[in-house]
Every structure is written in structure tokens, then in C-alpha cells.
Chain A
């Protein structure tokens, strides 16, 4: 799970504007992510957190502005090229393949050419992070519980050998025990690899502990940006309103 030999910061987003039809969601948004960093993006629902991640992943391209990934402009590239370059998007809706088994879903995570050679190694690694998935590896995805399918979604993202993970609300709708499991895994990834992580969350505690820096997004703009050590949960929650 290596980075690609950084040329410039992992992500440099400037003045991003994004729309859904006529409705403007992101307004002149700017954000940075350094190599190996974990940045948490907090903010109320509907204010553009997912839209930002989708813009970076190439799934919902922005109207204007720039997104540089390791010095290369990616805002107009198709999603398959962005995946090939080492970016993995882990959606809130999971988007698993319902009639395939856990292991088939994970294998498809390694669809891009770069990841195929490391498929077995990555699969072993994902199973070590989520032993429960190994137990259920031949189980059909549509029969998994909420927490388990969330784990498969994260695992599938890791299978791509990405050096930048875009994680969209991984703990939403999960039981406290499941939440801990997911964040423990994310913590492992942060500590043991050079993968950079941009995580979007409603839940504040775990991400605040794990992240290096924190951004607050409100109404499509960045309200503030601070190192995580200089910010408290109360401050963040107050900014929501």
C-alpha cells in the first residue's frame, strides 16, 4: 500500500464550485491534504461533504475550480482514470454488488490494472483488518448486516491499492461496537501505511482523535481549518448551528 512518490501535496483543491442542476452546493471551496495525512471534514447534512468527495473521485465533476492530485489536474478526468491513479472512494451508500459474495465484491475492488498484481496480498490484509469478513467470505452481499456491508465497502476501497482514500460517513447507522470496529481499522491504516485519508463524518469523537487536521464545512464553504489538537468537540458542534 504505497504512495506514488509524491509530487506536490496529495490533494490541492482550489475555488471549487459544484452544482446539482441549478442548485449550487459547493462555493469556492479550497482544501489541502498532505502525504500520509488524515484530514477530517465535519459539517451539517446536505451542506456538500459528499459532493466534495464525489468531485475528487470523478463521479460528480465540478462546474469550476481545480483539483490537483499529486500535482496533476484531475477535475475533468473520468472516474476510471482517477481510480487508476490511486484514489479510492468509499461511499456512504456502500454500493456493493448485491448478488456477489463478500470475496467477489472485494476482488472487484482490485479491478484496476495496478491493483490486480497485489490482489492476494491486499485480500489477506483486508481480512486481517476485518476478520469477520473472512468468516463470511462466501456469503452473498445482500444478506449482510449494516455493519458488515460497511466493512466490505471499506475493504473494497482498500483492495484498489489506493494511496488516497475518500471515506464518506463510514459510521452512519452503525451500532457503537461496529463504529469502534470501523474506526479501529481506519486507525490501523493510518498508523501502518502511508495512505492519505480524507474522511467526512457527522460523528465527531473518533475522527477527531485520529485526524491530523480538521475542516468545518458549512453551506458549501470552509468555515475553519485547524490542527486537531487545537480544536474541541464542543467547538465543532457549536459551529454546526
Chain B
């Protein structure tokens, strides 16, 4: 979730408020393939990812790309994305119905570490995320596609000079971020439940994580996510789960007060 946000911000320098719903949509597509069409878990996920990628790209081409040519495009785009988020949420509500859905966890059973039980499923989630981040990193550094995005993020004029098509790269980044976010939505859906509105919650958390990690730094986002996850667990354990949400916001304010650029902020993809 945070990775998707940070990719979009790092490359296009625009914050995507419609992001939450994208995650949820990813989850829904996967559910659709699994429940309705009876496909296995992995094929469903892969197909969802591909669909999300093209969906993101198509969305970009038809709506944001034209906007880029107008003055003040940064603002128009942010507002547009917010509006789009709301629209998509309601469309999803129409299409899939308001009842809660879920995707089954990957593994049953838990691991006993003596003083605590951990679900195998949650372990696998962590492993998947770490694996995914490594894969993404590899992809960014070893393909022309990924290098173009890094270049645009670091020096847009330099990117233009070596012959990179800036708008096309924006589109790619948006599509990639959409797919990544869709994937995160699927993972989240296995742990929690799924309704069209839950995207906002996830997005707020994603937002705090991204700010903590530094806007535009993917590595920062990963570190921050782990820190916040840990913090959340600690708060729940010692203070009680009611304090979880407030603690997110307290954390947010603290970051802004003392280190607004985040842990690895100022750096780019």
C-alpha cells in the first residue's frame, strides 16, 4: 500500500488520494476469480495483478495524461484522483454488494514460539512482502522500464535529455503502483475482511507510513511499515486496542514536528 503511494509520488510528484480504493479493488478482483470462477489462489492473484496494471495504465492515459497539459496540473490531478476514488468506491459497492467478503488465508495453523503463538499465515504474509519488495527493487534497477522511472524521479530534465518519454513513464509508474497496491489489497483481504469502504483506513495508515519513510523513498516506506507495525502491536498489548488509531496520528504529528522529511526523505526511488 505504502509502496504504491510512494512510487506515484516519487515519479509524478503527486499524491494519490484515490489509492485506498485501488487496493480494495485488487482484493475484489481476486475474490471474484476465486469465488465465482473457481480458479486457484495463485492464478487468481496473477490475473488480478495484470488487470490492475492495465487498469491503472488505462486510467492514466484517459484521464490524467490530458490533465498534465494544463497549468496547475499538480492540483487538478490530486483533486481528480480523490474524486475518482470516491466514484470507484461507489461503483464497487454497486457491483459487488455491501456484504463483507473475504479471501481465505494461505495457511492454517500456527507456530508456537514458547511465549507466543504466531499464525503461519501471518509469517507467510511477511515473507511474501519481503520477497515482493526485493523483486520490485530488482525490477526497478535492472530493466529499462524501471530505470526510466528512477531517472524521471531523480532528474526530469536529464531523463528528457537521454530520450525518455516523460508522460509515458508517468503512465508506467501509475500502472505499476496500481498493480502493487492491488496486490497489497489482496494480502490485506486475507487477514481482514473486505468492504468497499475499508480502503480509506488502509490508505490513512499507508499515508503515515509513507511520510515516516520519506515521500518518494521506497526503501524508507518498507522500514517505516515495519516500525509502525511493531508500534501498533506494542500499543495494543500495553495500552489497549482503542488507542491504536490515535497512536497513528500522534506518530504522524511527531514526525512532522521533528523530522518532516521522514527517515530516508529527500532521497528518491
Contacts and interface: CB of A to CB of B under 8 A. Distances in A.
Interface of A: 57, 59, 78-80, 83-84, 88-89, 91, 93-100, 104, 107-109, 111-112, 116, 156, 160
Contact of A79 (B150, B160, B267, B268): B160
B246 interface: no
A59 B160 contact: yes
A79 B154 contact: no
A87 B267 CA distance: 31
Given A111-B164, A156-B162, A95 B157 contact: yes
A59 B156 CA distance: 12
Nearest to A95: B158
17 contacts: A59-B160, A59-B161, A79-B160, A79-B161, A83-B161, A84-B163, A88-B161, A95-B158, A96-B158, A98-B154, A99-B267, A108-B151, A108-B162, A109-B162, A111-B147, A111-B151, A111-B164
B162 A112 contact: yes
B156 to A, nearest CB: 9
Contacts of B159: 97
Contact of B162 (A94, A98, A160): A160
Contacts of A111: 144, 147-148, 151, 162-164
B150 A160 contact: no
Contacts of A78: 165
Interface string B142-176: 00100110110011011111111100000000000
Contacts, number: 62
Contacts of B154: 97-100
B160 A108 contact: no
Nearest to A90: B161
Task: Sort A-B residue pairs by CB-CB distance and give the 4 closest, nearest first.
Answer: A83-B163, A95-B158, A112-B163, A97-B154
B162 A83 contact: yes
Contacts of B164: 80, 111
A93 B160 CA distance: 14
B121 to A, nearest CB: 37
A222 to B, nearest CB: 25
A108 B155 contact: no
Contact of B161 (A57, A104, A116): A57
A116 B144 CA distance: 10
Given A111-B144, A111-B148, A96 B155 contact: yes
A93 B268 CA distance: 20
A199 to B, nearest CB: 16
Given A91-B157, A95-B155, A95-B157, A100 B150 contact: yes
B186 to A, nearest CB: 31
Nearest to A81: B163
Contacts of B268: 99
Given A94-B158, A107-B147, A111-B162, 17 more contacts: A57-B161, A59-B161, A80-B160, A80-B163, A97-B150, A97-B158, A97-B159, A99-B267, A99-B268, A100-B151, A104-B147, A108-B147, A108-B151, A109-B162, A111-B147, A111-B148, A111-B163
Nearest to B152: A97
Contacts of A107: 147
Contact of A97 (B155, B163, B267): B155
B265 to A, nearest CB: 13
Contacts of B151: 97, 100, 108, 111
Contacts of B147: 104, 107-108, 111
B71 to A, nearest CB: 13
Nearest to A157: B161
Nearest to A85: B163
Interface string B130-151: 0000000000000010011011
B269 to A, nearest CB: 8
Contacts of A89: 161
A96 B151 CA distance: 9
Contacts of A99: 150, 154, 267-268
A111 B148 CA distance: 8
A95 B158 CA distance: 5
Contacts of A96: 155, 158
Nearest to B144: A111
B151 to A, nearest CB: 6
Nearest to A98: B154
Contacts of A80: 160, 163-165
Contacts of B157: 59, 91, 93, 95
A97 B140 CA distance: 15
A102 B161 CA distance: 16
Which of B147, B158, B162, B165 has most A Cβ within 10 Å?
A: B162
